[in-house]
């Protein structure tokens, strides 16, 4: 059995540009990843199969396997490399669905990593990134599992900056947030957005991280807060927590996060959030 973690993706910032001819948006973002998340396990089999368990399996159990991005990733690898073998794939779904933390993309990326090992696939990083982009805009970055600068619509990635040890508490107020409506609201509110730009991290300490967060934004946050006012309450809660370096919404929401310099502060915030009835996870960030 081969097991890979599919960590939660966090956009430290997300600058969104205009709509491209391919229907995607230009963007500039710094992705970071928790050390905890969903788990993908693969074992040899003559046929391809997918089973789903875990706390959030219920949101996927009614989905036909072939509609799941994990299945599509496996089928794409089989097609591209003429692989006749199958695999028994198990997803332990620990992260909320439609939550802005790249769950489906991270699952697909983890499945790709695991199946490449299982099937002994030889592929360059560049070719793998191109293959991953066929599955979704976030999948190439989710292959990395470490800080990564993302431009284009997600197809252009480069190593992110060196960060100090960071912990995150990610919180979802039990709100599903499909990506499409948020981007459509952004398009309606911002018919001529400025070209999105990456922001440099000026240093490798906590002051530099705080400055980066002050100088950046999530362009989708205002629209998401209108659709789901619970996001505003979640951000206010996170911003008030002792030791919080910054608080922001990730992706298109509704999951929000706060950054901390200690695990104790992140765990304390996790416990407070759970006491409010929200889903929460405290985790170190994978900084390399």
pTM of the model as a whole: 0.95
Number of domains, the chain: 2
Phi, psi of 113 (to 5 degrees): -60, -45
Burial class (CB in 10 A: 0-12, 13-18, 19+), 104: buried
Told to judge if 138 belongs to the known catalytic residues of this protein, a careful annotator would answer: yes
Residues 55 and 143 in one domain: yes
- The mean pLDDT value for 265-279 works out to 98
Residues 179 and 219 in one domain: yes
Residue-wise pLDDT tens digits, 5-57: 999 999 999 999 999 999 999 999 999 999 999 999 999 999 999 999 999 99
Which of the following is catalytic: 26, 38, 107, 138?
Answer: 138
Residues 151 and 274 in one domain: no
Q: Could you tell me the pLDDT band of residue 59, with boundaries at 50, 70 and 90?
A: confident
Residues 132 and 181 in one domain: no
Residue 203: which CATH number?
A: 3.30.70.890
Structural domain harbouring 62: 2-159
Count of CA atoms in the C-beta half-sphere (13 A) of 19? 11
Q: What is the pLDDT of residue 17?
A: 97
Which of the following is catalytic: 9, 107, 144, 219?
Answer: 9
């Amino acid at each position: 059995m081969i097991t890979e973690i599919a960590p939660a993706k966090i956009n430290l910032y997300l600058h969104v540009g205009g709509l491209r001819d391919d229907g995607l948006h230009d963007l500039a973002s710094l992705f970071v990843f928790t050390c905890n998340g969903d788990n993908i396990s693969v074992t040899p089999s003559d046929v391809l199969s997918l089973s789903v368990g875990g706390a959030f399996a219920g949101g996927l159990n009614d989905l036909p396997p072939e509609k799941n991005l994990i299945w599509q990733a496996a089928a794409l690898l089989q097609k591209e490399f003429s692989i006749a073998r199958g695999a028994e794939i198990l997803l332990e779904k620990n992260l909320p669905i439609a939550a802005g933390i790249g769950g489906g993309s991270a699952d697909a990326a983890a499945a790709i990593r695991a199946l490449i090992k299982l099937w002994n696939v030889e592929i360059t990083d560049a070719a793998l990134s191109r293959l991953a982009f066929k599955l979704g805009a976030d999948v190439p970055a989710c292959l990395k599992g470490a800080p990564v600068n993302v431009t284009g619509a997600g197809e252009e990635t480069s190593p992110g900056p060196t960060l100090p040890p960071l912990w995150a508490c990610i919180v979802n107020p039990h709100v599903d947030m499909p990506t499409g409506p948020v981007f459509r609201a952004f398009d309606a509110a911002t018919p001529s957005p400025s070209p999105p730009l990456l922001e440099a991290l000026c240093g490798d300490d906590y002051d530099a991280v705080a400055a980066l967060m002050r100088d950046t934004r999530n362009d989708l946050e205002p629209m998401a807060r209108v659709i789901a006012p619970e996001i505003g309450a979640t951000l206010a809660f996170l911003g008030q927590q002792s030791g919080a370096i910054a608080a922001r919404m990730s992706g298109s929401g509704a999951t929000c996060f706060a950054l901390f310099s200690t695990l104790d502060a992140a765990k304390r915030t996790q416990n407070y959030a759970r006491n409010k009835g929200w889903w929460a996870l405290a985790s170190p960030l994978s900084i390399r």
